[in-house]
Structure 1
Amino acid sequence: MKFAVLVFPGSNCDIDCYKAVEETLGEPVDFVWHTATDLSAYDCILVPGGFSYGDYLRCGAISRFAPVMNEVAKAAEQGKFVLGICNGFQILTEAGLLPGALRRNESMKFRCHDTTLKVVNYKTPFTKDYTAGEEIIIPIAHGEGNYYCDEETLAALKANNQIVFTYSDNPNGSVADIAGICNERGNVVGMMPHPERAVNSLLGSEDGKRMFSSILKTWRDTHGTASVR
């Protein structure tokens, strides 16, 4: 399985994502610049956190126009796996690949600490190694992580089981405590917490490691190859 980690001007969690794949899965992974116009070689695309284009206008509002985002949309349509983390989640909402928007934290302060998440949907390609209702520790680091959508969209998210994670102690004011969602197909996930920063006990938690192992297991099940170690 081959992973791509997108890099925009201002990305600062791209190396974390790269190392998470390299060290926890041992699968091939490449950095891919925002000007790329072909992602056909990749099975999973990681849109990392950071401050792409300095978060000017709105977080992710400029990155959504980068040439590589046309290829991300094509990959999502083809059923490939796309994971947007923090600023990556913001970019996916700006690009229309996920519904809703991320607003300023209710506290108007940057929040950087561990959070407890509840696994709401354990049946996505990204969460199969978790159990329903399981609580996991994943850190956050954001100033605009307040997820918002209108009542109609929220009702659809609930009806389609698109809410993947919720906060146990909502740190930013997100509607319905939402920490992460997926598209209707389940192959695109966006979340504000950083699973790539929770893949080793030295980092304080290994709970994020299972997101990456879930992706690999799902891909191997689909392609009939050996299960992940």
Structure 2
Amino acid sequence: MLEGKFKFGVVVFPGSNCDHDVYYVLSEIFKQDVKFIWHKDDSVGDVDVVVLPGGFSYGDYLRPGAIARFSPVMKDVVRFANEGGVVIGICNGFQILVEAGLLPGAFLRNKSLRFICKNVYIKVENNETIFTSLCKKGDVLKIPIAHGDGNYYVDDETLDELIKGDRIVFRYCDKNGNVDEASNPNGSVFNIAGVINEGGNILGMMPHPERCSDPALGCTDGAKIFNSLIYSLNFVRKFLIEQK
């Protein structure tokens, strides 16, 4: 377990169903300070990290994340993110970040037009982020997905920008790290499973790391993402203290 405690805020929307999963792993597995942030709050409060969890916010009416993007708290989430605050959007949370304009792209129905709930493999394409600092480039993580609208789309120009900016953090692959059409569960362009913003402080990913962080579940690959973040935050904290 990494040393150092940080304050995490987990936003709860009507229809969120992974909020307690995230709260549990952060508080019980990683021993962090965690609080719930209600969607009607006007501020995220004094936190180091904001997490937008998975689920079906507002029943996914119109399209996933479209209504949640207008929840009162999102105005402050956008402010927090634009000022450099760390934000993670998982599954529906990723969709909300896209709808809020904090990450590029759009989400379409899965290519199969079916809801998919299973374990998949993702390849670490960029290990020089605060979310992957303890990973190696090319590492393959086994992480579950559960979505019906996980088909991530960007146009060719935006895809080129993501590639050149090294902003594609995870791509769907097979267990040996091969990235191909067969390993793409939802049809996402370029097998993209997770991206970051230009500043590197906002991560959106469709797979659920909180569902594979507890050793009791038999797989802890998701812990590498949370541990990487805690490690990075500790590094920054130590640096700032040394500069005083």
Which protein is bigger by CA-based radius of gyration?
A: 2
Alignment partners' CA distance in 2, 1:201 and 1:3? 21
Corresponding residue for residue 5 of structure 1:
10
Corresponding residue for residue 114 of structure 1:
119
Alignment partners' CA distance in 2, 1:176 and 1:204? 30
Cα RMSD for the two superposed structures: 1.0
AA aligned opposite 1:144? D
AA aligned opposite 2:221? D
Task: In structure 2, list runs of 5 or more residues that go unmatched.
Answer: 1-5, 174-182, 240-244
Give the deviation of 1:126 after TM superposition.
0.8
1:219 equivalent to 2:233? Answer yes
Query: Could you tell me which of 22, 25, 28 is aligned with 2:30?
Result: 25
Q: Indicate if the aligned counterparts of 2:25 and 2:214 stay in contact, CA closer than 8 A.
A: no
Query: Could you tell me which of 158, 162, 167 is aligned with 2:163?
Result: 158
How many residues are treated as equivalent by the alignment?
A: 225
Runs of 4+ in 1 over 4 A off after TM superposition: none
TM-score by length of 1: 0.96
1:210 equivalent to 2:224? Answer yes
Alignment partners' CA distance in 2, 1:144 and 1:55? 10
Corresponding residue SS for 1:137: strand
Corresponding residue SS for 1:197: helix
1:63 equivalent to 2:68? Answer yes
Corresponding residue for residue 176 of structure 2:
none
Q: Indicate if the aligned counterparts of 1:40 and 1:75 stay in contact, CA closer than 8 A.
A: no
Alignment partners' CA distance in 2, 1:194 and 1:186? 20
Query: Could you tell me which of 133, 138, 143 is aligned with 2:138?
Result: 133
TM-score by length of 2: 0.90
> Which aligned pairs between 1:75-94 and structure 2 lie closer than 5 A?
75-94=80-99
Query: Could you tell me which of 191, 201, 206 is aligned with 2:215?
Result: 201
Identity of aligned residues (%): 52
Give the deviation of 1:36 after TM superposition.
1.3
Alignment partners' CA distance in 1, 2:29 and 2:95? 25
Q: Please, which moves more after superposition, 201-210 or 181-190? A: 201-210
Q: Please, which moves more after superposition, 103-112 or 22-31? A: 22-31
Corresponding residue SS for 1:224: helix
1:189 equivalent to 2:194? Answer no
Q: Indicate if the aligned counterparts of 1:104 and 1:146 stay in contact, CA closer than 8 A.
A: yes
